[in-house]
Amino acid sequence: MRIMPLEKRGISNSRVVFGCMGIGGEWTSAPATKEDYLIAEKAVEAALSIGITMFDHADIYKRGKSESVFGEILKKRPDLRDQIILQSKCGIRFQDDVNPQRFDFSKGHIINSVDGILGRLGVEHLDVLLLHRPDPLMEPEEIAEAFNQLRSAGKVRHFGVSNMTSAQMRFIQNSLPVPLVVNQLEMSLASLDWVEQGILVNQKAGVGINFADGILEHCQMADVQIQAWGPLAQGKFSGRVIEDAPDTIKKTAALVQKMANEKESTPESIVLGWLMKHPARIQPVIGTSSAERVLACQDAVRISEIMTREEWYTLLESSRGARMP
């Protein structure tokens, strides 16, 4: 069985990542409450209890509060830092009174962002830093200068990207002395463009697919870890009641539940296991802040190993609402 690219590089063997966007309270400047801290602690403990050792952040999550709350958890458990892999992202700047929302891969912004991230988390280094969304004004040489400075200072050990095409990755990589190790993309049983891009070649139905060609293949050939954000599909197939949901969602949710019953598992583990069965060794980033839902993901690895090709295609066909071409 193929191992994950991050494991091959000796960075992490955590098959699932806990995404910290959901912790920290509201998306406002209001400080996190005691209840927000309690929810975060329970979710993190649940993640650790099922073997998750990689935690994903971004400097914008809850306007920095997600990292600050996680930092408080680390203060209470200083031994935890050496047991986990910390990843964060930078590059998105919110609109303010003067400026529009924009992306910023300038050297100064990347370095300042990392300093802010480290300060909020209360740690000396990040294991992985990702560039959050493509900056049309990015200059690879400037990005390389920032990465080199951060790496030399011991502030960041590895680098990657998020939401980028293979061409954009190669464009940046051409100026870097170290490899990009991650690309984080939206992928789930509900967001299927990553599959459709490959199967609708030479098909009119593929014209409207919103997933750039060649990302999966490039990442697999270059040993870049593909991480999936939104892998639980906002609960569409695992209990979230959506009265006006299309029939494809309802039928697929019923199929997921049936499969979970048959395999003595949970809908969450079925949905994640389906994604993880792909030979790209996709690493889901679960974004729930519910400890109960985190625990419901604990069987995902087993499901990915026992799910048959026919079961995988049955779920795909149901979700896409059409037979394979």
Would you please indicate which residues are annotated as catalytic (active-site) residues?
A: 61
- Work out whether the CA dihedral 179, 181, 185, 187 comes out positive or negative: positive
Question: Quick one: tokens of 102?
Answer: 């924009």
Q: Rounded distance, CA 118 to CA 81, Å?
A: 12
Q: Please enumerate, as own/partner, the contacts of 148-151 that have beta carbons within 8 Å and a separation of 24 or more.
A: 148/177, 149/107, 149/111, 150/110, 150/111, 150/114, 151/178
CA–CA separation, 188 vs 121, rounded Å? 29
Cβ neighbours of residue 272 under 8 Å, at least 6 residues apart? 16, 231, 232, 284, 286, 297, 300, 303, 304
SS3 193: helix
Helix (H) or strand (E) segment spanning residue 88 = strand 85-90
Place of tokens 């951060």: 150
Instruction: Choose among 195, 198, 265: nearest CA to 237.
Output: 265
> What whole-number distance in Å separates Cα of residue 257 and Cα of residue 250?
11
Which two tokens mark 57? 């952040």
